[in-house]
Amino acid sequence: PQLEGLSKEKFTLIGWDPPGYGSSRPPERDFTDFFARDAECAKSLMEELGFHRFSAVGWSDGGITGLVLAGRFPSAVNKLVIFGSNAYISKQDIEMIDKVSDVSQWSDRMKKPMFEMYGDHFPSLWTAWCNAYRDIYNYNNGDICCSDLPKITANTLVIHGNKDVMVAGEHLDHLTSNIPGAVSHVFPDGKHNLHFKYQAEFNALVEDFLSS
């Protein structure tokens, strides 16, 4: 809804799948230090396309990649928009992940697009993702990229849905308190995929921020 809905007159829109996801297969997804590697890949891709400074919009893991990208390569990122994202993993986050870790318990509506993309490989991919988060929580004190936040110089918009069951509400305050000059916007009834349900409002919000 963003690649189709955001203005192509105002922006050059580039969407990408990190290695191991979507159309960027092979290779198989490697969850070793994956946020840092994804950030480096994203920067390299943009440079290869001729963009040495750009804005980034990221959802969930894509937003975390955006945080790492903007923190470690500040000269490359003009503005940053993230939603459904976090810089650390809390106990509540792990409890949420545990509740959705069994793909067989998902509704058909939730499973359908994933199995259409990944086929029978999806359950093992999802299990590997859940385990990667558990490893960060158990062996790295839950820290994903907290040290990168103060290094971000890009104007940053943090969007959060108050009914997001995947990302605890505490992360909104943490991000806006630790990213210099960050601003926030809350969708009171928004869930983790708020950009689908509130497409028009979300797109207008992002366009206004990126254009200002």
Catalytic residue set? 60, 164, 192
Q: Indicate if the alpha-carbon torsion angle 203, 86, 80, 19 is positive or negative.
A: negative
Inter-residue contact 149 to 67 (CB < 8 Å): yes
Inter-residue contact 158 to 82 (CB < 8 Å): yes
Inter-residue contact 29 to 21 (CB < 8 Å): yes
| Tokens representing residue 103 in the block | 């793909």
Rounded to 5°, angle at Cα 110 from 199 and 18: 70
| Tokens representing residue 156 in the block | 């940053």
